[in-house]
């Protein structure tokens, strides 16, 4: 009976214990008796525990290696004892190379000279958070965010360091600062110019209403000033509305096949009064049968501002030519050419740059904010096109707009 119970017990263990097999348990009993069996049972239990520990270590190491932060274990002298995958990739080293380095190898030379030989005791309690620059293997300096904490590991003091590359964050922060500064500057210039335009309107209106005995020629002169200021204010407000619509995504890009010559005719009419004041002629060289895929809600403001800009810098009785050629890539290239003052290389280089809102006075001392060219650039980008300019001082300027057609943009 006892033998049957013993075999039943062994069979039960066989079903519950892995990786032992029934033959191995039988051999343990044959060669070691019951004592051998319990020894085998203890060995199996220990193996399972070790295997569980190893699996936990693998899982833990995998999670650490998946971290987007560099994680390091350092001693009190700043020598790197261990690191995760991001820890060495971030700096451009292999793991083996990284474990031969110390913190002094990962910072700029001038900062390395300031580091103490031993990390001071006051850093041993709590956590330390800093932002500083670090140095990669190839010498590249980049910004990082660092968290550190001292721990006691088997009686040894160890520093756990978390390092995050914040290059993209700093870039975004700087771009945001520049954008805010640019917008503030732009609104300041716009506000100043609007006050100037309406101040002229009010002042000359007051003179006409209050002064008696003015000659008809003087009346006409004051009315001309009022008209010019009102038109400049109206143009600026129209640009602000166009720009605001674009910035707030209130207008959607919807390209259709349109007659380019008809769009140019409409836009030319919008700026005709200003052109007439200078005796400037707008000459369209675009064929009547030329049609392109575009959105006139976007192309209209671009052409209106380019023509207004050309009139501004044209001399009296000058000519402005509007044309469109198809380049080697089958892309329509619209050009607006004037015979005016032109631009020097410095002005030419910065003309479309963010934050350069001011514009030079025109040949008739016309003022502007530079918002018009910003609208041209932003609207052209919405059309997935490209805008550029060729110019030389005293030789006029030619602005070009490349407008890829739907089949071209789809193929990109």
Label the pairing between strands 281-284 and 319-326: parallel
Which residues share a beta bridge with 129? 147
Q: CA-to-CA distance for 64 and 61, rounded, in angstroms?
A: 5
Mean pLDDT by runs of 10 across the 412 residues of the chain is 41 44 49 51 57 56 72 88 90 93 90 78 60 92 89 81 90 78 61 61 68 64 70 69 68 84 90 85 93 89 90 92 92 94 85 62 73 84 91 92 77 46
pLDDT for residue 13: 43
Cβ neighbors of 197 (< 8 A, separation 6 or more) are: 229, 230, 232, 233, 236
pLDDT for residue 18: 47
pLDDT for residue 215: 65
pLDDT for residue 128: 61
> How many other C-beta atoms can be found within 10 angstroms of the C-beta atom of residue 403?
25
Residue labelled with tokens 């343990």 = 28
Residue 75, classed as helix, strand or coil, is coil
Could you tell me the maximum CA-CA distance found in the chain, to the nearest angstrom?
A: 140
Q: CA-to-CA distance for 12 and 17, rounded, in angstroms?
A: 9
Q: CA-to-CA distance for 330 and 166, rounded, in angstroms?
A: 43
Which residues share a beta bridge with 319? 281
pLDDT for residue 412: 45
Enter the pTM of the model. 0.51
pLDDT for residue 92: 94
Residue 241, classed as helix, strand or coil, is helix
pLDDT for residue 8: 42
Residue labelled with tokens 């001292």 = 150
**In this structure, are residues 143 and 168 in contact, taking their beta carbons and an 8 Å threshold?**
no
Please state, in angstroms and as integers, the Cα–Cα distance from residue 36 to each residue in 11, 20, 28, 102, 199, following that order. Answer: 16, 14, 5, 52, 107
The token duo for 324 is 């469109």
pLDDT for residue 387: 94
Among 292, 291, 313, 301, CA closest to 359 = 313
> How many other C-beta atoms can be found within 10 angstroms of the C-beta atom of residue 324?
19
Residue labelled with tokens 């890829």 = 404
């Amino acid at each position: 009976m006892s033998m049957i119970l013993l075999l039943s017990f062994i069979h039960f263990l066989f079903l519950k214990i892995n990786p032992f097999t029934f033959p191995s348990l039988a051999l343990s009993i044959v060669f070691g008796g019951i004592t051998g069996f319990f020894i085998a049972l203890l060995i199996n239990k220990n193996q399972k525990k070790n295997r569980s520990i190893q699996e936990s270590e693998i899982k833990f190491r995998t999670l650490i290696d998946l971290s987007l932060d560099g994680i390091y274990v350092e001693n009190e002298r700043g020598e790197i004892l261990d690191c995760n995958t991001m820890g060495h990739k971030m700096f451009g080293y292999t793991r083996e190379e990284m474990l031969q380095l110390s913190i002094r190898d990962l910072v700029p030379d001038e900062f390395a000279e300031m580091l103490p030989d031993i990390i001071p005791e006051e850093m041993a309690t709590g956590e330390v958070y800093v932002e500083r620059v670090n140095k990669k293997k190839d010498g590249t300096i980049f910004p990082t965010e660092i968290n550190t904490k001292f721990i006691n590991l088997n009686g040894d003091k160890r520093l756990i360091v978390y390092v995050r590359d914040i290059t993209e964050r700093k870039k975004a922060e700087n771009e945001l600062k520049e954008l805010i500064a640019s917008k503030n500057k732009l609104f300041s210039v716009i506000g100043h110019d609007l006050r100037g335009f309406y101040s002229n309107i009010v002042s000359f209106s007051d003179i006409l209403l209050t002064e008696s005995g003015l000659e008809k020629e003087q009346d006409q002169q004051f009315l001309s000033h009022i008209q010019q200021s009102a038109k400049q204010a109206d143009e600026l407000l129209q640009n602000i509305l166009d720009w605001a619509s674009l910035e707030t995504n209130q207008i959607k890009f919807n390209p259709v096949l349109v007659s380019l010559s008809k769009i140019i005719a409409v836009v030319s009419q919008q700026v005709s009064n200003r052109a007439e004041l200078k005796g400037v002629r707008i000459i369209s060289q675009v064929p009547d049968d030329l049609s392109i895929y575009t959105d006139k809600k976007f192309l209209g403001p671009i052409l209106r501002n380019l023509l207004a800009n050309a009139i501004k810098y044209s001399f009296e009785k000058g000519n402005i030519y509007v044309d469109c050629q198809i380049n080697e890539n089958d892309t329509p290239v619209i050009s607006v050419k004037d015979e005016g003052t032109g631009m020097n290389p410095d002005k030419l280089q910065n003309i479309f740059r963010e934050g350069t809102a001011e514009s030079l006075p025109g040949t008739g001392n016309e003022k502007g904010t530079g918002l018009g060219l910003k609208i041209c650039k932003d609207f052209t980008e919405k059309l997935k096109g490209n805008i550029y300019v060729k110019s030389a001082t005293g030789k006029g300027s030619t602005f070009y707009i490349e407008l890829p057609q739907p089949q071209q943009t789809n193929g990109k």
